[in-house]
Amino acid sequence: MGKKISSSNSGSLVLWLVIMVEFSLLFSSVFCAEISTRQSVEGNTKGSQVLLHRNKDIVLIDNGLVEVSIEDPSGYLLGVKYKTMPNVLETQNINANKGYWDLVWDNDAIDKLVAERMEIITQTDELVEVSFKKTWKPTADYRSTVPLNIDKRYIVRRGVPGLYMYGIFDRQADFPDAHMDQIRIAFKLKEDKFHFMAVSDAKQGMMPTAEDREAGRCQVLAFKEAVLLTNPTDPRFKGQVDDKYQYSVENKDNNLHGWISDADAVGFWVITPSNEFRTGGPHKQELTSHVGPVSLSMFVSAHYAGNDMDSFYRKGNPWKKVFGPVFIYLNSASPDPNQGYRNTLWNDAKRQLREEIRSWPYNFVASEDFPHSEQRGEVNGQLLVRDRYMDKNLMPAKSAFVGLAAPGNAGSWQTEAKGYQFWIQTDDTGLFSIKNIRPGVYHLYAWVYGFIGDYKLDRTITIQPGNKVQLGKLIYDPPRNGPTLWEIGIPDRTAAEFFVPEPNPSFVNAMLKDNADRFRQYGLWDRYSEIYRHGDIVYNVGVSNYSKDWFFAHVPRKVGLNAHRNTTWQIRHNLQEVNEAATYTLQLALAAASHGEVQVRINDPTAIQPLFTTSRIGFDTAVARHGIHGLYRHYSINVPGNRFRRGENTIFLTQKRSRNSFQAVMYDYIRLEGPAV
């Protein structure tokens, strides 16, 4: 009765099976930059000219800093020679397993996007760009390769110790239906050289080896990606957990990661100067680098979103997209005994990242499908928030995320996977200027820290080359029906502010020493049943503190080896008066959901019919993948006043699904609003 649901997440109708698409591919692209003489990036005229050699089945591009070899015509990256390293890629791997694109499509089939012909696009002293293409043809066995035209590009520039890679993929209208769930480049680096991995300032360290993850050296934990190292080649890792998902980061932060060879004092870095070609917006999490040694450039995936991602491509809808360019950067330093070179290499890679961002969109890219800056447009405006229960005046949307993405419903950007997205954060006054937008038709979306729900501007925005769209003042009216009676958490689309327990000492990954990463430790879901062994959470409004008393994930209770039971959390609160004739609102914002279901009951925990249920929702696997959020969902639940009574009231939140530890939700924020005044 009287319930209103507004889910800002696209309640996906995608019917296919629950696939946890996950792959561990390694990629690494190798380029070299030498720190001492590195001026070359700005000064294209420095350094040797770029030379292109074609042998029978190998294309070599050499600029005197790096020598890149690519298989002809497959387009596999075979090697990058840099400084003292004849090849930074693993020479013992087969050609298809060194540096390659791959795509996961229908039913988990993996297609390595093998090209059929090579073409020289640009060949000057300053730059060589080559293309490896394949045109898809229907064959009797047409399910054997993904219905997609492929154009993989490599660029080597004069004076630049590295390699730019991008892909132009398209589907013609008559291509058959296909799911395309994951697209990426993988680099598999030289195993005996690269042992030190860096993903952020805080997340850096020596890593176990691929062998350490093999039988006899480790124990597989709750899922195959997570292992406990029991007999690692380097005894320092004994008792540590390894799981590639512990190194995931949000798109907005996923712009630099890689490895260092201590023996050579050489760094290999994947630099991603723009997120325009990634899917799911700024907060979608993706893999980076992991044991192998592997580095990935993730373009499309279902990670931390699952089947809600819009990755089904229908016959009749032609599609084309440019992924990248990404930059594979190599640098070197003089090896120094106190290991200062690692910092030197990391800091130089960060400097190079800033340089690449400054050069975006690259004007040296030849494809006409990649517009240069003068062919792009700009959108400016100011976002304000109107919530009269918080402030009579309009409030600036400070540090809000504002973005353009394919037209859709409010919030649809987080599951959008086919187009380009352009995001920026507002300043303290809510002003924003989104630059370098590709021509196209978009909706403008936003979300504002501290406010629930999703903003969408109620008109489409068409970008034409060179135009500047001035939107002026935009006003966001977040969901709000009455004054706040109480609230739990911060509306920030994550569960980070809640109680994240210490890991079980037997399942620690020592690289996650930064407090900001503590939720990425393994096995926190099991801590719930240990910490709350005498009963589920009872939260007393006004007394409890959500940082200590509200567990970050609403997981089932473990009651046996493979047995779990639903859990019911209580929110106890006092209402001094109740207007029985009026309507109250429970604002329920979720930060993640994986086959979970939240049921809401008021004052009667045994009521057969809950006042509200989310129904079973979500595939984002945020709990198992150590994310602190997956996809955001928001529900405004109407509560008739006669459900409450004067004095003590209890809201019962039951997470009903309990087949395993990972059927769960995470809350972002909960608020009870009184009747409108």
Ligand X SMILES: *[C@@H]1O[C@H](CO)[C@@H](O)[C@H](O)[C@H]1NC(C)=O
Residue 458 CB: number of other CB atoms within 10 A? 8
Cβ proximity to ligand X: between 233 and 547 the closer is: 547
Cβ proximity to ligand X: between 190 and 527 the closer is: 527
Question: Counting contacts by CB under 6 A, is residue 656 touching ligand X?
Answer: yes
Point out which span in 46-54, 300-308, 338-346, 544-552 binds ligand X (CB under 6 A): 544-552
Cβ proximity to ligand X: between 13 and 543 the closer is: 543
Interaction with ligand X in 115-144: which residues (CB under 6 A)?
none
Cβ proximity to ligand X: between 331 and 599 the closer is: 599
Asked if 394 and 384 touch (Cβ cutoff 8 Å), the reply is yes
Selected binder of ligand X within 141, 459, 548, 577 (CB under 6 A): 548
For residue 485, the minimal CB distance to ligand X (Å) is: 18
For residue 71, the minimal CB distance to ligand X (Å) is: 56
Buried b (16+ CB within 10 A) or exposed e, 623-651: bbbbbbbbbbbbbbbbbbbebbeeeebeb
β-strand 538-540 against 567-575: which pairing, if any?
parallel
Question: Counting contacts by CB under 6 A, is residue 566 touching ligand X?
Answer: yes
Question: Counting contacts by CB under 6 A, is residue 565 touching ligand X?
Answer: yes
Q: How many residues does the chain have?
A: 677
Cβ proximity to ligand X: between 626 and 657 the closer is: 657
Point out which span in 68-76, 169-177, 350-358, 543-551 binds ligand X (CB under 6 A): 543-551
Query: 200: which 2 tokens?
Result: 């952020």
Cβ proximity to ligand X: between 56 and 548 the closer is: 548
For residue 546, the minimal CB distance to ligand X (Å) is: 8
Point out which span in 110-118, 409-417, 522-530, 540-548 binds ligand X (CB under 6 A): 540-548
Cα–Cα distance, 623 to 520 (Å, whole number): 9
Residue 666 CB: number of other CB atoms within 10 A? 29
Question: Counting contacts by CB under 6 A, is residue 412 touching ligand X?
Answer: no
- Tell the residue number behind the tokens 């003042």, with chain if given: 473
For residue 557, the minimal CB distance to ligand X (Å) is: 10
- Per DSSP, the residues of 356-405 read HHHTPSPTT---TTS--GGG-EEEEEEEEE--TTT-SS-EE-TT-EEEEE
β-strand 647-655 against 567-575: which pairing, if any?
antiparallel
Cβ proximity to ligand X: between 295 and 494 the closer is: 494
Selected binder of ligand X within 144, 515, 545, 562 (CB under 6 A): 545
Query: 6: which 2 tokens?
Result: 């507004």
Cα–Cα distance, 469 to 459 (Å, whole number): 13
Nearest to 592 by CA among 635, 622, 616: 622
Q: Which residue is nearest to ligand X (CB)?
A: 545
Three-state DSSP class for residue 567: strand
Query: 141: which 2 tokens?
Result: 């066995």
Cβ proximity to ligand X: between 15 and 543 the closer is: 543
Size of interface with ligand X, in residues (CB under 6 A): 8
Quickly list H helices, 509-668.
524-531, 546-549
> Strand (E) positions, 254-376?
256-261, 266-271, 285-286, 289-290, 294-300, 312-313, 319-332
For residue 590, the minimal CB distance to ligand X (Å) is: 18
Question: Counting contacts by CB under 6 A, is residue 660 touching ligand X?
Answer: no
Question: Which residues sit opposite 588 in a β-bridge?
Answer: 635, 670
For residue 520, the minimal CB distance to ligand X (Å) is: 20
Cβ proximity to ligand X: between 87 and 654 the closer is: 654
Write the binding mask 494 to 533 for ligand X: x where contact by CB under 6 A, - elsewhere. ----------------------------------------
For residue 201, the minimal CB distance to ligand X (Å) is: 24
Cβ proximity to ligand X: between 47 and 556 the closer is: 556
Write the binding mask 625 to 654 for ligand X: x where contact by CB under 6 A, - elsewhere. -----------------------------x
Cα–Cα distance, 410 to 408 (Å, whole number): 7
For residue 540, the minimal CB distance to ligand X (Å) is: 13
For residue 501, the minimal CB distance to ligand X (Å) is: 13
For residue 545, the minimal CB distance to ligand X (Å) is: 4
Asked if 480 and 578 touch (Cβ cutoff 8 Å), the reply is no
Buried b (16+ CB within 10 A) or exposed e, 356-390: beeeebbebbebeebbeeeebbbbebbbbbebeee
Point out which span in 11-19, 163-171, 347-355, 545-553 binds ligand X (CB under 6 A): 545-553
82 φ, ψ to 5°? Answer: -150, 130
Write the binding mask 583 to 612 for ligand X: x where contact by CB under 6 A, - elsewhere. ----------------x-------------
For residue 495, the minimal CB distance to ligand X (Å) is: 15
Question: Counting contacts by CB under 6 A, is residue 236 touching ligand X?
Answer: no
Cβ proximity to ligand X: between 463 and 665 the closer is: 665
Which residues have a Cβ under 8 Å from the Cβ of 531 and sit 6 or more positions away? Answer: 501, 551
Query: 590: which 2 tokens?
Result: 């979720």
Cα–Cα distance, 35 to 44 (Å, whole number): 16
Cβ proximity to ligand X: between 158 and 657 the closer is: 657
Nearest to 380 by CA among 429, 414, 416, 420: 429
Cα–Cα distance, 16 to 311 (Å, whole number): 11
Cβ proximity to ligand X: between 149 and 544 the closer is: 544
Cβ proximity to ligand X: between 317 and 547 the closer is: 547
For residue 569, the minimal CB distance to ligand X (Å) is: 12
Cβ proximity to ligand X: between 654 and 661 the closer is: 654
- Tell the residue number behind the tokens 């009797």, with chain if given: 140
Question: Counting contacts by CB under 6 A, is residue 464 touching ligand X?
Answer: no
Question: Counting contacts by CB under 6 A, is residue 547 touching ligand X?
Answer: yes
Query: 487: which 2 tokens?
Result: 């609230």
For residue 565, the minimal CB distance to ligand X (Å) is: 6
For residue 666, the minimal CB distance to ligand X (Å) is: 19
Question: Counting contacts by CB under 6 A, is residue 655 touching ligand X?
Answer: no
Binding residues vs ligand X (CB under 6 A): 545, 547-548, 565-566, 599, 654, 656
